[in-house]
Amino acid sequence: MWPGNAWRAALFWVPRGRRAQSALAQLRGILEGELEGIRGAGTWKSERVITSRQGPHIRVDGVSGGILNFCANNYLGLSSHPEVIQAGLQALEQFGAGLSSVRFICGTQSIHKNLEAKIARFHQREDAILYPSCFDANAGLFEALLTPEDAVLSDELNHASIIDGIRLCKAHKYRYRHLDMADLEAKLQEAQRHRLRLVATDGAFSMDGDIAPLQEICRLASRYGALVFVDECHATGFLGPTGRGTDELLGVMDQVTIINSTLGKALGGASGGYTTGPGPLVSLLRQRARPYLFSNSLPPAVVGCASKALDLLMGSNTIVQSMAAKTQRFRSKMEAAGFTISGASHPICPVMLGDARLASRMADDMLKRGIFVIGFSYPVVPKGKARIRVQISAVHSEEDIDHCVEAFVEVGRLHGALP
């Protein structure tokens, strides 16, 4: 006889190994359904394999001949600059492959401190702190700085890392409509009851190539006693007369309190991010920012490359000045051909197409014509706003740009995007 209801349990008893297999089979079924939904929506993202250094001219696995690259964040062309590479090799030789430690245990070398000081000087701020990426810098800032007594006001189209970082903090959260200063002012009025008010915005928005109206944001922040935070990942190194970013471009360097940016785009393109701003804030982040406290230090080679990139940038603004003319050349020729290009005067030049499948297929056909570009669709951009994001680099030649435009016109006509 089975005691109590044990006989019922016995009927449904499955050996442990079989239960695990059943759970795994269930998981596989769920995941395959999700993946099939992505494929069916035309938003599947494939990874093309590059078999050369990053640069304007690359080689791609499975594609014969050289390829023109128009979708890297390599704004200044420093990813494969010989002096940047040599600096990385020297740092690797002198300081090793890595630290095997977080910063506060035994992971801080002289080159880390020197780079932080150089970043602070570059941005004309008091201090700076390094992170493995700017995603980590954004993940570390808001939680460490803001409390339930405070408020953060965020542009609705801010980068995912800003959104995720804000989610981690306990401050009151306000979201204002994209670049809508009337809505920001209304939210600032509503947030007056809080201790600190922090307005958070991208300097340049990476999907649309538009630039935050920092003059108006800073004016409103001053009126309502708020601080201003700007993510400069798509501005550092090439916007403004000397490449300091959107705050320099718009003349508000003394009014922006906190800047987060990256070493992984214009400044060498390897990896790493940072926060720069008031000294006490940086000191607090060293004590409380979880991505800083619980992540390994940046590898010496990455630090060496970024430091040399900053040296080159601070030594001459010639490369910065070449960006505007090349960007204008691409934008004007594409618009003359009949394409809609989002944003204005930024080397991010989104070719707006609307349909996700169209963007993906056109990008594939561009590769067949020797042009490397990528289609962007939901969830990276809103539904119905699919586009091919073209990015101009200082090391693209005029001939490179003209060839890219010609290929777009041919492919656009092939797919009905142009008459």
Q: Check if 316 is active-site.
A: no
Grouping H, G, I as helix, E, B as strand and the rest as coil, residue 69 is strand
Amino acid present at 343? G
Q: Which residues contact 55 (CB under 8 A, 6 or more apart)?
A: 69, 74, 77, 79, 80, 395
Helices assigned H by DSSP within 279-317: 279-288, 290-293, 300-315
Grouping H, G, I as helix, E, B as strand and the rest as coil, residue 407 is helix
Catalytic residue among 154, 206, 297, 393: 206
The backbone torsions φ and ψ at residue 102, rounded to the nearest 5 degrees and listed phi first, read: -80, 170
Catalytic residue among 123, 265, 326, 333: 265
Q: Which residues contact 380 (CB under 8 A, 6 or more apart)?
A: 207
What is the rounded distance in angstroms from the CA atom of residue 192 to the CA atom of residue 177? 19
**What does the block give as tokens for 151?**
């408020």
Q: Check if 265 is active-site.
A: yes
Instruction: Return the closest-CA partner of residue 373 out of 400, 343, 344, 413.
Output: 400
Grouping H, G, I as helix, E, B as strand and the rest as coil, residue 187 is helix
Q: Check if 187 is active-site.
A: no
H or E stretch including 176? strand 172-176
**What does the block give as tokens for 352?**
């707006």
CB atoms under 10 Å from CB of 235, counted, come to 28
What is the rounded distance in angstroms from the CA atom of residue 246 to the CA atom of residue 234? 9
**What does the block give as tokens for 221?**
């922040």
Q: Which residues contact 180 (CB under 8 A, 6 or more apart)?
A: none
What is the rounded distance in angstroms from the CA atom of residue 154 to the CA atom of residue 199? 6
The backbone torsions φ and ψ at residue 31, rounded to the nearest 5 degrees and listed phi first, read: -65, -40
Peptide bond into 379 cis (omega under 30): yes
Catalytic residue among 81, 194, 234, 326: 234
| Catalytically annotated residues | 206, 234, 265
